[in-house]
A = this chain, B = another copy of it.
Amino acid sequence: MNNHEKDPVISLDLMGGDSGPAVTVPAAKRALLISKNLNLILVGREQECLPMLKKHGLLDNSRVKFIATPNVISSEEVPSHALKHSQDTSMRKAIELVADGSAHACVSAGNTGALMAVSRYILHTVPGIDRPALAAFVPNEKKQRTLLLDLGANVECDAKNLVQFALLGCSEFSRISNTERPKVALLNIGVEHNKGREYIKKADAILTGLKEVDYIGYIESDSLFNSDADVIVCDGFTGNIALKSSEGLVRLIVKTAKQRYRGFFSLPVLLILKGVMSKLYPDEYNGASLLGLQGVVIKSHGSAKIKATANAIIRAQYEARIGLSDRFLELLGKNLF
């Protein structure tokens, strides 16, 4: 048992997300109540954080340490600019605490592109991985769940990125689900080999030739929640569009249900929708992993509320318990491209 299995330390960027410390501080308190051996290093700007930390009684909690940083990365900043000016920001400090071994994992709800750029700069990628990918589970009718990546960390991708994401996804799925050979698919707009964009076709050809990977070909996005795949791979733009369209539709259905069926009938309808939403919605199932880094970084949803943010912290604690190495990652050392 490693030290952090007994006493996990998570660094939390208090300034991230739409509401900043107003959400992250009470979320930290909630996570500490849920997880009795959790330790937190909270990072943020003194003027906004101290009043909240005081209000929630976290200043004199022995499991909490606060580190003041003067700067913040805003949600509007482009990643390159954010990285260049990341010195003394809450996000960077939270990541540095992972790099220097003070924390076992870091959680931030800040600017996704900046989180990727800074994490990559500070923690470096696993050898063989060019860019980290954001991964989260989506519900699957046929199986318990499917890991979808990338969800927005990489707006533009090439074939090499997609193949690396496939290996990262397999590694992660295998680790979490004890599945020897996870089935991996590429998201595309047709199932025939000639369909889709060029970089997807190239990735298809490379994955088809990799006997170590159980590659099952293309899936279309109407099979996103009903496929044989354990891992579904796409570029970050596409993953973001796919996941958020579905979220939008669930919201539409919930509104329609509430408007049309008040009272007696509304309960079963809302219960069903809640069941599906709990797997898709940030408030219920928050925290996407930034895979491919030499350290654990969890992205919390920008609009996540207290409960959801606490979930991301708990999730980080779980991730922090397990090592990253995997036989799929050995493949990355080989010359595939």
Contact = CB atoms under 8 A, between A and B. Distances in A.
Nearest to A265: B268
Q: Tell me how many chains of this kind the complex includes.
A: 2
Most buried by B among A75, A78, A242, A252: A252
Given A221-B240, A222-B248, A155 B189 contact: yes
B221 A241 contact: yes
Contacts of A223: 248
How big is chain A's contact interface, by range? Answer: 35 or more
Nearest to A223: B248
Contacts of A251: 141, 222, 225-226
A237 B269 contact: no
A245 B257 contact: no
Contacts of A187: 241
A244 interface: yes
Nearest to A268: B265
B249 A250 contact: yes
6 contacts: A155-B189, A189-B237, A225-B249, A226-B248, A226-B251, A253-B272
Interface in A220-246: 220-226, 236-238, 240-246
A240 B189 CA distance: 7
A237 B268 contact: no
B238 A238 contact: yes
Nearest to A264: B268
A272 B248 contact: no
Given A222-B244, A245-B242, A251-B225, A237 B276 contact: no
A275 interface: yes
B237 A225 contact: no
Nearest to A225: B252
Contacts of A245: 221-222, 224, 241-243, 245-246
Given A76-B194, A189-B241, A241-B221, A275 B248 contact: no
